[in-house]
C-alpha cells in the first residue's frame, strides 16, 4: 500500500510539473530570444540613425565611429554600407557574405539572419523623411549570452522540479505510512483475535478518521464477542455441572439396586449403568469443548493412510 501511494503521488506531481515547468521554460526561452533580437535591432537602428547624416553628405561622423567601436568592444561585428555597398564604417569581420549583403542593400525593411553562434540583422538607412534608402547597417551579435541565459533557465527549472519531486516523495512516504500503519495494526489485531486472544483490542489513535472509526467498531465487536463466548462457556459449564450431579446420584442408586437383585435385573441395571456412563462422557465432552472454544488448535500433520485404516477397521467391527 505504501509503495502504491508513493507511486501515485509522484506520478501526479511529475505530471503537474511537466505540465507547468516545460511550457514555462519554452515560453521564457522564446521571450529571451525575442528580447535578444529586439535589442540587436535596436542597436542596429541606433547606428542607422547616426549614419544617416554622414552618408547623406558624405562626411565622417565621429559619433558613428565611436558607436561602432563600442559595438566592437561588446563583441559585435558591425558594418555600415552606403547604397553602392561601400563600407563607410565597420568593426570586426564582414557581418554578411557578399551575396547576402547585396540582398540586404535592396531590402526595404529590417531582416535577421540567424547563424550558428550569432544573430545578424540588417537595417536600412533612410533619408528624405524615410522615403529613400541610402545605405544599410549590418550588425552581427554573438548568441553566447543568450545561450547561457537559456541554459541557466532550464537548469533552474530542472533543479526546482527535482527538489519538488524529492519533497513530494518525502511527503508521500509520510502520508502512506500515516494511512497504512493503522490498517496494519488493525490487521494484526484481527489475526490475534482469530487465533483466540479475546482480550485483543485495536487501540488506534492516529490515521485517517475512517480507519479510526473502523478500529473503534472492531474493538466493540471484540468486546461483545468476548462477552458472548465467556457467557456461553459459563452456561455450558454450569449445565454440565448440574447434569453431572444427578447422573452421579443415579449411578450410585443403580449400584445399590444391583447388589440385591436377581441375574436378569442385574443385567438390565448394568445396561443402564453403561448409558449413564455414556451420558457422563457426553457431558464431559461438552464441558471440554466449551473450555476450548476460545482457542484455536494449531494444525498438526497426520498420516492420512493411518487414519483411513483405523476408520475402516472401526467400520468393519460395527458391521460384524
- Asked if residue 279 lies in contact with residue 247, where contact means CB atoms within 8 angstroms, the answer is yes
What's the pLDDT at 320? 42
The total number of residues shown for the chain amounts to 320
The more confident residue out of 297 and 236 is 236
- Asked if residue 50 lies in contact with residue 61, where contact means CB atoms within 8 angstroms, the answer is yes
Q: Tell me the mean pLDDT in the region 232-253.
A: 76
| Dist. CA 34–CA 25, nearest whole Å | 14
First to last CA, the chain: 62
Domains in the chain (CATH in brackets) are 27-144 (3.30.450.20), 209-296 (1.10.287.130)
Could you tell me the pLDDT band of residue 109, with boundaries at 50, 70 and 90?
confident
The more confident residue out of 129 and 213 is 213
Residue 184, pLDDT above cutoff 50: yes
| Dist. CA 238–CA 100, nearest whole Å | 114
Helix residue ranges, H only, the chain: 2-57, 62-73, 98-106, 144-194, 209-259, 263-292, 304-319
Identify which of 272, 267, 247, 269 has the alpha carbon closest to the alpha carbon of residue 257: 269
Task: Tell me how crowded residue 238 is: count the other CB atoms within 10 A of its CB.
Answer: 11
Could you tell me what percent of the chain has a pLDDT over 70? 88
What's the pLDDT at 159? 92
Amino acid at each position: 500500500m505504501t509503495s502504491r501511494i508513493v507511486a501515485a503521488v509522484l506520478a501526479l506531481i511529475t505530471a503537474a510539473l511537466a505540465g507547468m515547468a516545460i511550457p514555462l521554460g519554452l515560453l521564457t526561452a522564446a521571450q529571451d530570444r525575442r528580447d535578444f533580437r529586439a535589442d540587436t535591432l535596436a542597436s542596429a537602428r541606433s547606428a542607422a540613425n547616426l549614419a544617416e547624416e554622414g552618408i547623406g553628405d558624405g562626411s565622417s561622423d565621429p559619433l558613428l565611429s565611436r558607436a561602432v567601436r563600442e559595438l566592437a568592444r561588446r563583441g559585435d561585428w558591425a558594418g555600415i554600407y552606403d547604397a553602392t555597398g561601400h563600407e563607410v564604417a565597420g568593426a570586426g569581420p564582414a557581418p554578411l557574405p557578399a551575396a547576402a549583403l547585396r540582398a540586404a542593400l535592396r531590402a526595404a525593411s529590417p531582416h535577421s539572419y540567424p547563424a550558428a553562434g550569432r544573430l545578424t540583422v540588417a537595417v536600412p538607412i533612410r533619408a528624405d523623411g524615410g522615403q529613400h534608402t541610402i545605405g544599410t547597417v549590418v550588425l552581427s551579435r554573438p548568441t553566447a549570452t543568450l545561450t547561457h541565459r537559456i541554459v541557466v533557465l532550464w537548469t533552474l527549472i530542472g533543479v526546482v522540479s527535482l527538489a519538488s519531486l524529492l519533497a513530494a516523495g518525502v511527503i508521500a512516504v509520510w502520508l502512506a505510512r500515516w494511512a497504512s500503519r493503522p490498517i496494519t495494526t488493525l490487521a494484526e489485531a484481527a489475526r490475534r483475535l482469530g487465533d483466540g486472544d479475546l482480550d485483543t483490542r485495536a487501540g488506534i489513535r492516529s490515521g485517517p478518521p475512517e480507519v479510526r472509526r473502523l478500529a473503534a467498531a472492531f474493538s466493540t465487536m471484540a468486546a461483545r464477542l468476548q462477552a458472548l463466548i465467556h457467557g456461553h462457556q459459563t452456561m455450558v459449564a454450569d449445565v454440565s455441572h448440574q447434569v453431572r450431579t444427578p447422573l452421579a446420584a443415579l449411578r450410585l442408586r443403580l449400584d445399590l439396586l444391583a447388589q440385591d437383585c436377581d441375574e436378569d435385573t442385574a443385567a438390565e441395571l448394568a445396561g443402564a449403568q453403561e448409558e449413564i456412563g455414556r451420558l457422563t462422557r457426553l457431558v464431559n465432552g461438552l464441558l471440554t469443548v466449551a473450555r476450548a472454544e476460545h482457542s484455536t488448535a494449531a494444525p498438526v500433520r497426520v498420516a492420512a493412510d493411518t487414519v483411513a485404516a483405523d476408520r475402516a477397521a472401526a467400520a468393519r467391527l460395527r458391521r460384524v
